[in-house]
Amino acid sequence: MRKPLLTLLSLVFSCGALAAGKTVTYKVDGDAYEGYYVSPGKDAPLVLLVHDWDGLTDYEVKRAEMLSDMGYAVFAVDLFGAGVRPTKDEDKRQHTGELYKDRNKMRKLLQASLDTAKSEGGNVNNAVAMGYCFGGAAVLEMARSGADLKGFASFHGGLQTPDGQDYSKAQGQLLVLHGSADSAITMEQFAALANELEKSGVSHEMITYSGAPHAFTVFGSDRYREDADKKSWRRFGEFLASVTQ
């Protein structure tokens, strides 16, 4: 089970770890949100990291630290609100469902997160957005919005394009990493996205991993697949190196 962000941070700071990282509270339309920022130094390329359906937890913090060790500044965003870290599936569906129904709000929260990263010193002119599961769907939403980033990467994320949307405004390159044994996000949806991106002229790469189910990168879960996780992480590292300066 994942620990809430504040619990994790209290543990790591008490041990003297993660000294470079910090929680960042910011407001959007008067509501408080709590992200996590870590940077190896000035002018490092920025990664905007979007959480999955249980909110910003220790999993995203761990991934942020891994990226910081690779030389990237990272802002792990919060799309649910400070203290909102659902543990029951019905609550997770509620919070993600609200944003799926209100795409304008999702886009506003993503842009506010990018603005917050900039205020913390993040280099938004040399940035990539990436996300897991729900976060992967949010990253594709950001791409469709026309956000001016170098790239967008989805790990086992939702792939369907909402009615009335397309990729005509998309900038930067897309990387989609998907498990071919994913029963939640089907290979039919994967193929449909590939066709859509090709027709739209969007530079993209889409990779599937055999035997990998939904959420195959989540450490410690029964869905975790080490081989697919390591391969997808390695490819993402190569992607970051190729699209950032």
Domain boundaries, given as residue ranges, for the chain? 5-243
Q: Which contacts (CB < 8 Å, 24+ apart) does range 90-99 have?
A: 92/53, 92/54, 93/53, 95/53, 95/55, 96/53, 96/134, 99/138
- Could you read off the pLDDT of 27-69 as tens digits, one per residue? 999 999 999 999 999 999 999 999 999 999 999 999 999 999 9
Cα separation, 172 vs 149, whole angstroms: 6
Contact (Cβ atoms closer than 8 angstroms) between residue 148 and residue 114: no
What's the whole-number mean pLDDT along residues 208-221?
97
Architecture of the domain delimited by 5-243: 3-Layer(aba) Sandwich (3.40)
How big is the CA angle at 89 (ends 51 and 209), to the nearest 5 degrees? 55
Token pair in block for residue 202: 């969007």
pLDDT at 6 over 60: no
